[in-house]
Structure 1
């Protein structure tokens, strides 16, 4: 059997052309790929953005084209690392992020029509037949096809997407039902229950990364809550009164998700009488946001809605979610 593997490169793509002289049945039954060109997109990245220990196959290849050939044989391979220094070849079932072109590692991503990665939980269900809810790696267009850890819910019937929050995100709704008595302002205490929503997961629209703030599927509600994710309410006294405690706090923490709230979003008063958003804080990495809503009575939150997630610079291990490879 004679099999020659050629490799050409242009415009950031490496094309592996396989010219083999053997019986056609052997091609499909042994190698499981058709003749022709298979493309790998080449990007620059850094070694700290890749996890070599999580390779689905690791070994040696005489050249890059041979490493690519092995990737095609392995059904779960969608990217690879090849070192011409020691001829090491590592294959991965996830696509790691690039480093904005400033990395020193050449990394190759499989670009072919008969093997792809899911863009939504609907893709997970339809291309794999998986019906078990859980954390999966999704590559939506809204993130420029970069991987996001998504909790896929109701895969068996009506798939939808959620972000699992490592820390509970809490939003307080203080209103006139919390007054100890009617007609006064600036109470030093309040009547229970103080309404609140404690989110452990938050729903999103995968097409645009918008938060579905009124989806309380994975929120513990105390009282008749109406404030959405990212909002709070206070009704204890006009903003200028001193001293006057205010109870409408909001706490957002997305650390551990690889996402942050859109940095262009502006926050402030969204309605009410003599209101003010006080003590607004956002961590340097953008993962934590907290504020207090103060007034008589009204709401605070994002002024330039809707709330959207964007990718952060935080690295999330591929081991934290399940991999799905779609095949034609």
Structure 2
């Protein structure tokens, strides 16, 4: 659901409607988010239907099949270089889309935690589905992960014998954090790595999201098992990890990041960590989400069908 700060639409002079025609990007519009879908003989009729819907502020109209789709958000972010004809109802009123969970609560009065579409400045106003937590008191933003992201920490509590390197066994269980949601700072899309609100913790975990730790042996020791590992998967969220982010050893003795894999689209990252003791993770900056092109093809195919 999307919220708007309250506004009153009017048609100006009786019998007249004013539209501002723009072209918007394909990836900004999800057809299922229309507040109303149906048929209209012409653009003006589609516009009058919009006026009758309290939440309607913009519309898509196709003269090919007379389809009319009404929306409660504006997608005027393309700078005129988009692919889809889009109309904004020009009422002279200020229309505002939510940029944060605070906006959702302020604009709509909703206090129920859940998934909401927001348009933060940090994503260049591209829409992002955010889980708003504590919406009725102290709202904060989380990304719901479609796949569990797991980070394993092996430390000296797992030593079978004190200060003995490269033991073939460890004292179970390994410390582990399984994240189903991850907190973000909406102002810059940085991950709040030590926010374990929606993480299942095994043992006293200290590694943040995106990090792993190993304490079983120096990196150069041959045939030495290492247990610290990290698995990041943002597929299904429409987001990816910043492709420019570099990964390596963040601290420790005789440590090394190993078996690093990153998918070409940046949605999946995995690695192991070796050390005595050592921690691995991002080394060039914080973990930051970016909007991916994951859903673009879905929207593009839809509108290609609409135009043909």
Separation in 2 of the partners of 1:149 and 1:227? 26
Q: Does the Cα contact within 8 Å between 2:104 and 2:110 map onto a contact in 1? A: yes
Deviation by residue 1:114-169 (Cα, 9 ceiling, x = unmatched): 43321111111111111110111111111111111100000111011000111110
Q: Deviations over 1:23-76 (max 9, x none)?
A: xxxxxxxxxxxx9x966461244499642695523221423x553443344222
Q: How many residues align?
A: 288
Deviation at 1:266, TM superposition (A): 0.6
Between 183-192 and 53-62, the greater mean CA deviation after superposition: 53-62
**Does residue 64 of structure 2 align to residue 85 of structure 1?**
yes
Alpha-carbon distance in 1 for matches of 2:28, 2:195: 36
Q: Give TM-score scaled by structure 1 length.
A: 0.79
Contact 1:238 1:275 survives alignment (8 Å): yes
The answer to whether the aligner puts 1:187 opposite 2:131 as a matched pair is: no
Distance 1:101 1:275, change over 3 A: farther
Task: Tell me by how many angstroms 1:250 deviates.
Answer: 0.2
Partner of 1:6: none
Q: Which has the larger share of strand?
A: 1
Q: Check conservation: 2:105, 2:111, Cα contact below 8 A.
A: yes
Residue 248 of structure 1 corresponds to: 228
Q: Given the alignment of the two structures, is residue 205 of structure 1 paired with residue 199 of structure 2, yes or no? A: no
Tell whether 2:19 aligns with 1:43: no
* Residues 270-315 of structure 1, C-alpha deviations (whole Å, 9 max, x = no match): 0111111000001122111000011110100000121110001112
2:28–2:127 Cα contact (<8 Å) kept: no
Structure 2: distance between partners of 1:134 and 1:267: 33
Change (3 A) 1:78 1:253: farther
Listed as ranges, the gaps of 5+ residues in structure 1 are 1-15, 22-34, 319-328
* SS of 2:13 mapped into structure 1: strand
The whole-number CA distance in structure 2 between the counterparts of 1:100 and 1:249 is 43
Given that 1:96 and 1:147 are in contact with CA atoms closer than 8 Å, whether structure 2 keeps it comes out as: no
2:255 to 275, 283, 287: 275
Q: What CA distance in whole angstroms lies between the structure 2 residues aligned with 1:97 and 1:229?
A: 35
TM-score by length of 2: 0.83
CA displacement at 1:96 relative to structure 2: 6.6
Aligned-residue CA RMSD (Å): 3.0
* Structure whose alpha-carbon radius of gyration is higher: 1
